[in-house]
Amino acid sequence: MNEKPSTLPPSPVLPSAVAAYIQAANDQDAAGVAACFVADGTVRDEGATRRGSAEIAAWVHDTATRYQSSIEPLAMVGDDAQCELSAVVSGNFPGSPVTLKFHFVLVPGGIASLAIGA
């Protein structure tokens, strides 16, 4: 059997908290995403900042309901303290799919902050 080699680039190796975030976000699991963050963690997306588990979970629930999006990691630069993930985000929104940058600040215990932008 002749199998064609994959033409897709390998998925980037992600810090565990980032990998858990991507999995929970793709599962549209608001509590799971919030659990990836430290207690006073923040998310900056669409011009607003959310702080703490309750606000982050509400943000995930809202965006999952509106966009039904999924995240496909393309590349990651940085280290276990700060990293920038480039990812294709697809969903129910104008311009989908789009490549976005996810800027993570990581601390022991999880994600301290996440900023999402173009």
CA distances from 109 to 20, 29, 32, 65, 99 (A): 12, 19, 14, 28, 28
Q: Is the pTM of this model over 0.75?
A: yes
How far is the C-alpha of 104 from the C-alpha of 102, rounded, in Å? 6
> Which pLDDT tens digit goes with each residue over 29-76?
999 999 999 999 999 999 999 999 999 999 999 999 999 999 999 999
Contact 84/101 with Cβ under 8 angstroms? yes
> Which pLDDT tens digit goes with each residue over 61-114?
999 999 999 999 999 999 889 999 999 999 999 999 999 999 999 999 999 999
Domains of the chain in sequence order: 16-117 (3.10.450.50)
